[in-house]
C-alpha cells in the first residue's frame, strides 16, 4: 500500500540553560500507509506525545526539532515555510488532544471554534461555515446540536467536549489523523464511545490514524501496526498480532505481562516492571532499558542496540533476541 | 448576561451600606471635639454658645440617632456644611472632584500606555535582552516608594526651574491644558509603580496563554500565527489584565491622596487630609464617601467587564 507519511530519524530535544539536555525524541523512524492505524505505545514521559506533536511542528516552544525528516506526500514538513505548514495543519493532517477542556478555547462558542476550520481552509463565509459546523456535530452524534453550537466548552461534559474535538479534526476530511491519548481524560464508558467514533470514521473514510496511547487494550482492538516507545526510542515495531503473540523486546514482553488479558482463560498473573523509566536527561551510551531488563549483559551498558528487522515486518532493538 | 448584571447590581447596595456604616463609625472614633477643634484652644465662645452650636449641628444626639440622620441626609445628597468655611460639603466636593478624577485618569492612562507595550515586548522577547532590561526596570520601579520619588522630583524641579508645579485651583473643564500641565508630574510618579507591576503582569499573562493547550489546538487547525494571537491568545489574556488595571485604578485613588498632599494640589485627597487634621467632621465624612463610591463603582465596572469577556463568570450559578 501507498506510504503517505515517512518519519526518519526524528530528534526533538529540550535544551536547557545550565542543565543537561532532555532528549525526548531521539531518532524515531516509522512509516504510515494509506488507511492504516498506527499505535505509538509507551509509559508516560517516553516521548510519544512529543514525537506526535513534532510531526506538525507543534512541539512545545521550549523544545527544538534537532534533525530528522517528516515526509508528507513527498515534501519534508520540517522544512516547508510557515504558510505552507498552516495549509497542511487541519486540512491534510488533523490532531485530537488529550484534555478536551483545556484544548478548547474557553471564551469561544463551540460553533465558532468548529466553523473556524472551514473559514481557514475552505474560505467559507460565516453562515456557510456555521452550517458546516452543525453538520459535523451531527456526524459525531452530539445530541441537541442547535443549543450546543452556542454553548461554551465549560458547559459540556467531558465526552461531549471530546466529540467536539473530533468534529473539529474531521471537518476538512484530512488524510491523516493524529490522536494524542484521546481518551485519557475521559471515564471508561465514554472512552469506548469516543474511540469507536474516531476509528470507525477513519476506517470508513480510508483515513490513516496515528494513535498515541499507553493503553494496550485500545491498541489490540484498533491498531494495525504497533510501535513500542521507550525513553525516546522505538524499541519494537510490528503488526498488532505479532506484538501480542510473539513479542521480541524484553520491554514489550514485560509490558504485556503487567496488564490483565481477557484472551487467556483463568487470567494471568500481573507482573509489574521493576524500577522507573530513566530520566531523559541522564541517558548513558547503552540501552535505556538496561537497568530494568532481565536479559542485560555488559554489552547493553556500553552500546545502544540498533533497531533491526528480526522477522518479516517485525523490528526490534535488543542485543539478545 | 442580564442575570449577572442584575445580581451584581443587587450586591452593590448591601456592600455600599456596610462601607458607609463603617465609614461613619470609624470617623466617630477620631478623638477630639469637632467644635473645640474648629475654634482652637482659646475659644472665644462661652460654654453656652458651644452647647447651643452642638444642638444646632445635631451633635448632642445619641450616636445611633446621628448615624440614621446622616444616612437619611446622604440618601438625599445632603452632606452637611464645613465648620470652617461654612460652605456646603457638596459644593467643596463638586469643585475638587474633577481635579482628583483628572489626576487618577491621567495616571491610569500613563501606566496603560507604558506597561501594556512593555509587557508585550517583554513576553515576546522572553529571556532575551529586551526582556532582561524591562524586567530590571520594573523591579526597580516596584521597589521605589512613590512619595520619595515625589519629594526628589520636587527638589530637582526647584533646583532646575526654581518652581515645581502650580498649586492653584485649575478647573479641568475650563482650562484643560493648564490642568494637564499641573497634574502630569504627580500622575507620572503615581504611574511608575503600577507601570513596573503591569509590565510583569502583562508579560506573564502572555507567556502563560501562549503555552495553553487551546493555543496548540488553534495552531493545529491551521490558523496563521497572527490569527492565533488575535483571536485566541489576546481575549484570554485580557481577563486577568483588565482585573489588574481595574484594581490599580482603585489603588491610584489612595495614591492620589498622598500625591495631592505632597504637591499641594487642591483635589479630594488634600480635602480629606485637611479635614482630618482639623476634625472638620462633615467634610471628612463626605469626601471619604466620594472616594468610597469611586472605588465601589470601579469594582462594579471591573466585574461587569470581566463577565462580558469571560462566559464562565457570566453563566456562573445559573
**Residue A82, SS3?**
helix
* B160 and chain A in contact, CB less than 8 A: no
Q: At CB < 8 Å, which residues of chain A contact B?
A: 53, 56, 58, 60-61, 82-83, 86-91, 94-95, 97, 99, 102-108, 116-117, 120-121, 152, 154-155, 165, 168
Q: For the stretch B225-262, what's the b/e string if a residue is b when 16 or more beta carbons lie within 10 angstroms of its beta carbon?
A: eebbbebbbebbbbbbbbbbbbebbbbbbebbbbbbbb
Q: pLDDT tens, position by position, for chain B (318 residues)?
A: 788 888 888 888 899 999 999 999 988 887 777 777 667 666 677 778 878 877 877 777 888 888 888 888 888 888 888 877 778 888 899 989 999 999 999 999 999 999 999 998 898 888 889 999 999 999 999 999 989 999 999 999 889 887 777 777 888 788 888 888 889 999 999 999 999 999 999 999 988 998 899 999 999 999 998 899 889 998 999 889 999 999 999 999 999 999 998 888 899 999 998 888 888 888 888 999 999 999 999 999 999 999 999 998 888 755
> Mind telling me how many Å the CA of B219 is from chain A's nearest CA?
8
Nearest chain B alpha carbon to A86: B222
Q: Which residues contact A187 (CB under 8 A, 6 or more apart)?
A: A158, A159
Give the model's pLDDT for residue B279.
Answer: 81
B211–A154 CB contact, under 8 Å: no
Which of chain A's residues have a Cβ under 8 Å away from the Cβ of B220?
Answer: 56, 58, 89-90, 94-95, 97
A82–B236 CB contact, under 8 Å: no
Nearest chain B alpha carbon to A55: B220
DSSP chain B: -HHHHHHHHHHHHHHHHHHHHHHHHHHHHS-S-HHHHHH-SS-SS-HHHHHHHHHHHTTTS-HHHHHHHHHHHHHTT---B-TTT-SBHHHHHHHHHHHHHHHHHHHHHHHHHHHHHHHHHHHHTTTSHHHHHHHHHHHHHHHS-HHHHHHHHHHHHHHHHS-----S---TTT-HHHHHHHHHHHHHHHHHHHHHHHHHHHHHHHHHHHTSHHHHHHHHTT--HHHIIIIIIHHHHHHHHHHHHHHHHHHHHHHHHHHHHHHT--SHHHHHHHHHHTT-HHHHHHHHHHHHHHHHHHHHHHHHHHHHH-HHHHTTT-
Which of chain B's residues have a Cβ under 8 Å away from the Cβ of A154?
Answer: 311-312
Which of chain B's residues have a Cβ under 8 Å away from the Cβ of A107?
Answer: 235-236, 309-311
Nearest by Cα to A217 from A208, A226, A204, A230? A226
A116–B221 CB contact, under 8 Å: yes
Residue A299 near residue A319, CB atoms below 8 Å? yes
DSSP A142-183: -SSHHHHHT--GGGS-HHHHHHHHHHHHHTT--SEEEEESTT
A88, A104, A107 member nearest B311 (Cβ): A107
Stated as kind and residue range, the H or E segment containing A316 is strand A314-316
> Mind telling me how many Å the CA of B215 is from chain A's nearest CA?
8
Strands A233-239 and A93-96: unpaired
Domain A3-92+174-316: top CATH class: alpha beta
pTM: 0.83
Which of chain A's residues have a Cβ under 8 Å away from the Cβ of B310?
Answer: 106-107
Q: Which residues contact A102 (CB under 8 A, 6 or more apart)?
A: B212, B213, B214
Q: What is the pLDDT of residues A67-97, one digit of tens each?
A: 999 999 888 999 999 889 999 999 999 999 9
Task: List, in sequence order, every residue forming a beta bridge with A213; answer none if it has no partner.
Answer: A41
- In angstroms and rounded to an integer, the radius of gyration of the C-alpha atoms of chain B is 24
* B221 and chain A in contact, CB less than 8 A: yes
> Mind telling me how many Å the CA of B240 is from chain A's nearest CA?
13
Distance (Å, rounded) from C-alpha B139 to C-alpha A20?
30
Which of chain B's residues have a Cβ under 8 Å away from the Cβ of A161?
Answer: none
* B317 and chain A in contact, CB less than 8 A: no
Other Cβ atoms within 10 Å of A312 Cβ, number: 8
> Mind telling me how many Å the CA of B18 is from chain A's nearest CA?
34
Residue A181 near residue A213, CB atoms below 8 Å? yes
Residue among A90, A109, A150 with most chain B CBs within 10 A, to mutate: A90
> Mind telling me how many Å the CA of B313 is from chain A's nearest CA?
10
Nearest by Cα to B99 from B176, B163, B164, B154? B176
Distance (Å, rounded) from C-alpha B219 to C-alpha A86?
8
Which of chain A's residues have a Cβ under 8 Å away from the Cβ of B212?
Answer: 102
Q: What is the ipTM of this complex?
A: 0.91
Residue B238 near residue B202, CB atoms below 8 Å? no
> Mind telling me how many Å the CA of B206 is from chain A's nearest CA?
14
Report DSSP state, residue A89. B
Strands A308-311 and A314-316: antiparallel
Amino acid at each position: 500500500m501507498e506510504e503517505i507519511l515517512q518519519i526518519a530519524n526524528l530528534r526533538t530535544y529540550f535544551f536547557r540553560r545550565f542543565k543537561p539536555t532532555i532528549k525526548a525524541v531521539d531518532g524515531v523512524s516509522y512509516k504510515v500507509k494509506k488507511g492504516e492505524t498506527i499505535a505509538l505505545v509507551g509509559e508516560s514521559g517516553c516521548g510519544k506525545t512529543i514525537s506526535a506533536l513534532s510531526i506538525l511542528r507543534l512541539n512545545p516552544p521550549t523544545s527544538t526539532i534537532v534533525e530528522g525528516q517528516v515526509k508528507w506526500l513527498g515534501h519534508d514538513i520540517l522544512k516547508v515555510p510557515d504558510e505552507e505548514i498552516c495549509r497542511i495543519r487541519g486540512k491534510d493532517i488533523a490532531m485530537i488532544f488529550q484534555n478536551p477542556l483545556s484544548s478548547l478555547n474557553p471564551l469561544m462558542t463551540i460553533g465558532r471554534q468548529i466553523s473556524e476550520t472551514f473559514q481557514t481552509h475552505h474560505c467559507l463565509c460565516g453562515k456557510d461555515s456555521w452550517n458546516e459546523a452543525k453538520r459535523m456535530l451531527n456526524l459525531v452524534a452530539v445530541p441537541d446540536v442547535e443549543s450546543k453550537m452556542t454553548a461554551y466548552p465549560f458547559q459540556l461534559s467531558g465526552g461531549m467536549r471530546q466529540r467536539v474535538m473530533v468534529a473539529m479534526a474531521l471537518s476538512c476530511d484530512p488524510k491523516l489523523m493524529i490522536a494524542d491519548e484521546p481518551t485519557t481524560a475521559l471515564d471508561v464508558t465514554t472512552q469506548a464511545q469516543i474511540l469507536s467514533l474516531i476509528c470507525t470514521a477513519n476506517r470508513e473514510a480510508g483515513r490513516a490514524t496515528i494513535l498515541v496511547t499507553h493503553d494496550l487494550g485500545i491498541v489490540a482492538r484498533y491498531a494495525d501496526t504497533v510501535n513500542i516507545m521507550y525513553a525516546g526510542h522505538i524499541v519494537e515495531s510490528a503488526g498488532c498480532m505479532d506484538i501480542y503473540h510473539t513479542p521480541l523486546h524484553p520491554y514489550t514482553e514485560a509490558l504485556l505481562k503487567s496488564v490483565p488479558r481477557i484472551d487467556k482463560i483463568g487470567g494471568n498473573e500481573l507482573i509489574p516492571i521493576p524500577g522507573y523509566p530513566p530520566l531523559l536527561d541522564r541517558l548513558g551510551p547503552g540501552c535505556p532499558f538496561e537497568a530494568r531488563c532481565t536479559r542485560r549483559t555488559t554489552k547493553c551498558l556500553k552500546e545502544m542496540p540498533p533497531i533491526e528487522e528480526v522477522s518479516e515486518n517485525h523490528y526490534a532493538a535488543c542485543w539478545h533476541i | 448576561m442580564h442575570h449577572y448584571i442584575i445580581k451584581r447590581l443587587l450586591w452593590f447596595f448591601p456592600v455600599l451600606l456596610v462601607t458607609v456604616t463603617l465609614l461613619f463609625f470609624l470617623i466617630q472614633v477620631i478623638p477630639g471635639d469637632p467644635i473645640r477643634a474648629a475654634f482652637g484652644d482659646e475659644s472665644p465662645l462661652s460654654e453656652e454658645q458651644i452647647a447651643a452650636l452642638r444642638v444646632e449641628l445635631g451633635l448632642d444626639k445619641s450616636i445611633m440617632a446621628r448615624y440614621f440622620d446622616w444616612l437619611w441626609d446622604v440618601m438625599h445628597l445632603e452632606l452637611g456644611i464645613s465648620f470652617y468655611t461654612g460652605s456646603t460639603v457638596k459644593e467643596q466636593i463638586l469643585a475638587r472632584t474633577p481635579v482628583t478624577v483628572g489626576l487618577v485618569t491621567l495616571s491610569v492612562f500613563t501606566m496603560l500606555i507604558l506597561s501594556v507595550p512593555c509587557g508585550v515586548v517583554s513576553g515576546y522577547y522572553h529571556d532575551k535582552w529586551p526582556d532582561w532590561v524591562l524586567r530590571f526596570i520594573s523591579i526597580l520601579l516596584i521597589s521605589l516608594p512613590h512619595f520619595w520619588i515625589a519629594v526628589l522630583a520636587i527638589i530637582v524641579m526647584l533646583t532646575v526651574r526654581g518652581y515645581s508645579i502650580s498649586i492653584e485651583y485649575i478647573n479641568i473643564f475650563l482650562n484643560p491644558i493648564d490642568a494637564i500641565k499641573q497634574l502630569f508630574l504627580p500622575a507620572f510618579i503615581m504611574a511608575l509603580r503600577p507601570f513596573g507591576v503591569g509590565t510583569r503582569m502583562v508579560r506573564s499573562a502572555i507567556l502563560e496563554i501562549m503555552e495553553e493547550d487551546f493555543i496548540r489546538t488553534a495552531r493545529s487547525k491551521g490558523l496563521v500565527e497572527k490569527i492565533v494571537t488575535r483571536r485566541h491568545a489576546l481575549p484570554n489574556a485580557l481577563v486577568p489584565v483588565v482585573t489588574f488595571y481595574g484594581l490599580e485604578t482603585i489603588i491610584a485613588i489612595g495614591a492620589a491622596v498622598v500625591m495631592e498632599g505632597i504637591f499641594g494640589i487642591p483635589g479630594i485627597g488634600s480635602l480629606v487630609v485637611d479635614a482630618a487634621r482639623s476634625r472638620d467632621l462633615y467634610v471628612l465624612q463626605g469626601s471619604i464617601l466620594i472616594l468610597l463610591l469611586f472605588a465601589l463603582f470601579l469594582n462594579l465596572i471591573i466585574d461587569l467587564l470581566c463577565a462580558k469577556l469571560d462566559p464562565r463568570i457570566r453563566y456562573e450559578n445559573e
